[in-house]
C-alpha cells in the first residue's frame, strides 16, 4: 500500500510540476505576443482578400475562375478547401483571438491554448464551408441558353445563309457576355450584324434572324 501511495504521489507531483512549467509566468508574455501576432496577421490577410474580392482580383482564391459558356463546371466547389488562403488566414486570426481571450480572462495557457486551437480550426472549417456554399450558389446561377430566346446580340463570326453552316454570335445573358454557335434560315449575316435569337437548337447553338428593330431604324434613317 505504501508503495502504491508513493507512486500515486509521484505521478500527481510530476503532473503539477509539468502543468506549472507549461503555464509558467515566464511563458505568458511570449504566448501573448504569439496570439496577438497571429490575430493581426490573419486579420490583415482576410481584409486584403476582401478588398481584392471587391476589386475582382481575389476570385481565384475561392475556387478559380468560371468560364462564361453554358454548362461549364470546373469542379472547384467539390470538397472543403481547408488549405485556401482565406481559410488559413481565418484560422490564424481566430487562433490568435481565442488565445488572447483565454489569457484575458485569466484562464492560463492550459485553457487559452486549447481554446485558441478549437476556435482556429472552427474558423478554418467554417470559412471553407461558406466558400463551398458560395461556389455552389455561383454554379447554380450559371447562364441557361433557354433564356437566349428573344434576346438580341451581335454576329461574331459570319453566319452562312439558308442553314448552310454556322457562325458565332455574342449575347448578354444574366449580366454576362456569352458566345454561342448560331445558324439562320434567312440570308447570310455578316460579322457585326445585329441579330435576334428565335430558337434554341442545342446546348450551345441558337437560331437567329436579322434584328427587325435594327432594320426598321436603318430604313427610317
Q: Which of 67, 95, 64, 65 minimizes the C-alpha distance to 81?
A: 64
pLDDT at 157: 92
- CATH fold for domain 145-220: OB fold (Dihydrolipoamide Acetyltransferase, E2P) (2.40.50)
Number of continuous H segments (helices) and E segments (strands) in the chain: 5, 5
**Per-residue confidence in pLDDT tens, the chain, 221 aa:** 555 555 455 545 454 544 454 444 545 677 888 899 999 999 999 888 878 766 755 544 444 433 334 434 444 444 567 788 888 999 999 999 998 888 888 767 778 888 999 999 999 999 888 878 776 655 545 667 888 899 999 998 999 999 899 999 999 887 888 899 999 999 999 999 999 999 999 888 999 999 887 655 555 54
Q: Any idea where the domains of the chain sit in the sequence?
A: 2-140, 145-220
State the first-to-last Cα distance of the chain, in angstroms, to the nearest integer.
Answer: 112
- Whether the CB-CB separation of 181 and 69 falls below 8 Å is answered with no
Helix (H) / strand (E) containing 48: helix 28-54
- Radius of gyration, alpha carbons of the chain: 31
Q: Put residue 81 in one of left, alpha, beta given phi > 0 → left and psi -120 to 50 → alpha.
A: beta
Name the helix (H) or strand (E) containing 151.
Answer: none
Amino acid at each position: 500500500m505504501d508503495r502504491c501511495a508513493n507512486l500515486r504521489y509521484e505521478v500527481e507531483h510530476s503532473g503539477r510540476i509539468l502543468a506549472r512549467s507549461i503555464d509558467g509566468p515566464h511563458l505568458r508574455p511570449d504566448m501573448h505576443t504569439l496570439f496577438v501576432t497571429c490575430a493581426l496577421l490573419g486579420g490583415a490577410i482576410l481584409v486584403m482578400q476582401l478588398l481584392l474580392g471587391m476589386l475582382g482580383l481575389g476570385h481565384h482564391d475561392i475556387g478559380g475562375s468560371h468560364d462564361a459558356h453554358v454548362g461549364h463546371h470546373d469542379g472547384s466547389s467539390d470538397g472543403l478547401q481547408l488549405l485556401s488562403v482565406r481559410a488559413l488566414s481565418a484560422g490564424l486570426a481566430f487562433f490568435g483571438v481565442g488565445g488572447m481571450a483565454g489569457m484575458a480572462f485569466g484562464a492560463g495557457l492550459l485553457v487559452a491554448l486549447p481554446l485558441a486551437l478549437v476556435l482556429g480550426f472552427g474558423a478554418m472549417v467554417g470559412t471553407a464551408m461558406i466558400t463551398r456554399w458560395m461556389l455552389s450558389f455561383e454554379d447554380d446561377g450559371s447562364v441557361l441558353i433557354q433564356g437566349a430566346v428573344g434576346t438580341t446580340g451581335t454576329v461574331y463570326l459570319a453566319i452562312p445563309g439558308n442553314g448552310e453552316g454556322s457562325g458565332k454570335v455574342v449575347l448578354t445573358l444574366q449580366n454576362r457576355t456569352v458566345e454561342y454557335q448560331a445558324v439562320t434560315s434567312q440570308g447570310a449575316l455578316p460579322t457585326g450584324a445585329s441579330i435576334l435569337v428565335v430558337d434554341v437548337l442545342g446546348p450551345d447553338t441558337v437560331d437567329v434572324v436579322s434584328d427587325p428593330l435594327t432594320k426598321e431604324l436603318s430604313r427610317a434613317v
